[in-house]
Chain A
């Protein structure tokens, strides 16, 4: 097997995550899809690290994980406060600006 297959898998997972972000309307599931995309990127970074024979890709993947953790904390806090004010986690319900 060619290790390039890991890149194809990462591309597939990223695509699925991006499609999920476009399709779903529950804010929590949207966040999960974003996490899936970040994970796919991490897989690509790790595969590239193996490809080039140095550890820089893994360091970048490590930073991605840290940023993802921070992003999830803030994002879920936003979802919780949004749910408190409008009793719904659907992103379609937040349409105050709509005529």
Chain B
């Protein structure tokens, strides 16, 4: 209780040194995270940076006395929305990096210029506003932050709250309608598929497993045929389309070379070989 009162006292007046320290450290990290969100080339990295920024914003909410919003920020934003983003990034393709080709000439610099101008306008507006008076949230939070929010939500803002329910239901139905695909033709049975394969004279037996003929059995490594070439048939179609097949046909030779070199070092042949090499080089000069 005393701690709460002390917190309320600090929140009602200006800010403590601790809060200033927290603001400058976390604020810097938040801005860096936001910049990384914009300038990282891969969507996954952008999403992770944005999640970090959102967690820091949650800390700022807590510092400003918005205890309920701080927790909701972590649960809803970083917990649900960012994970939804990551889910879609996985669906759409993790490896897809943004192309850096400009379609409109000079668009990027113009955009940066616009951003700088907009920021200057915003900062100038805040600087010119008379924001010297601070009432502090301590009094409003006296009966508890959640209780205070609930009182407002179910009295003054109750109509908006009801509308929010309608909005959420519409969004859920909309997402289902947008992602649902109606099957326009009957699904072919296994028998029909088999008959079609025989008719077309395609590869009839089951596809070979990856890497069984070589020394590796990872799924992204193509199996070696008896003549030493790799067979793309052994790798799953998804990996083939993404171009994520690892070629290990040269690895065996490289391994052998490494073993030979190590054996030479162990047998101290290099001590004898090195001067001969030098002499050979000098002779060639």
Closest A residue to B147 using CB positions:
A55
* Chain B: minimal CB distance from A84 (Å): 8
Q: Which of A17, A20, A73 contacts B171 (CB 8 A)?
A: A73
Tell me the B18-56 residues at the A interface (CB within 8 Å).
Answer: 19-20, 23-24, 27, 30-31, 34-35, 37-38, 43, 46-47, 50, 53-54
Check A23/B112 contact, CB under 8 A, given A3-B14, A32-B37, A62-B72: yes
B168 x A70 contact (CB < 8 A): yes
Tell me the A11-29 residues at the B interface (CB within 8 Å).
Answer: 11-20, 22-26, 28-29
Q: Give bound CA distance, A31 to B92, whole Å.
A: 14
Query: B134 — which chain A residues lie within 8 A by C-beta?
Result: 3, 50-51
Query: B72 — which chain A residues lie within 8 A by C-beta?
Result: 62, 65
Q: Which of B60, B96, B168 contacts A6 (CB 8 A)?
A: B60
Known contacts A13-B31, A23-B38, then 17 further A-B pairs from the complex at CB < 8 Å, ordered by chain A residue: A1-B15, A5-B23, A8-B123, A12-B34, A16-B115, A22-B111, A25-B98, A26-B98, A31-B85, A49-B66, A50-B11, A50-B136, A51-B135, A56-B156, A62-B149, A80-B88, A80-B92
List 12 contacting pairs A-B, 8 Å CB cutoff, sorted by A. A1-B14, A17-B38, A19-B38, A24-B98, A26-B98, A32-B46, A36-B53, A54-B140, A59-B152, A69-B81, A72-B84, A73-B84
Check A63/B38 contact, CB under 8 A, given A6-B64, A32-B47: no
Map CB proximity to A onto B67-108 as digits: 1 under 8 Å, 0 otherwise: 011001100110011001100110111001011000100011
Report, as a range, how many residues of chain B touch the other chain: 35 or more
Q: Which of A70, A71, A80 contacts B91 (CB 8 A)?
A: A80
Query: B57 — which chain A residues lie within 8 A by C-beta?
Result: 39, 42-43
Query: A84 — which chain B residues lie within 8 A by C-beta?
Result: 181
Query: A9 — which chain B residues lie within 8 A by C-beta?
Result: 23, 27, 30-31, 60
Check A33/B38 contact, CB under 8 A, given A5-B23, A12-B119, A81-B179: yes
Query: A13 — which chain B residues lie within 8 A by C-beta?
Result: 30-31, 34, 53
A29 x B98 contact (CB < 8 A): yes
| A-B contacts, CB under 8 A, total | 237
Closest B residue to A79 using CB positions:
B88
Report, as a range, how many residues of chain A touch the other chain: 35 or more
* Chain A: minimal CB distance from B165 (Å): 9
List chain A positions with a Cβ less than 8 A from chain B: 1-9, 11-20, 22-26, 28-29, 31-33, 35-36, 39, 42-43, 46-47, 49-56, 58-59, 61-63, 65-74, 76-81, 83-84, 89-90, 92
B103 x A92 contact (CB < 8 A): yes
A15 x B73 contact (CB < 8 A): no
Closest B residue to A51 using CB positions:
B134
Q: Which of A8, A24, A31, A50 contacts B126 (CB 8 A)?
A: A8
Tell me the B121-168 residues at the A interface (CB within 8 Å).
Answer: 122-123, 126, 131, 133-137, 139-141, 145, 148-149, 152-153, 156-157, 160, 164, 167-168
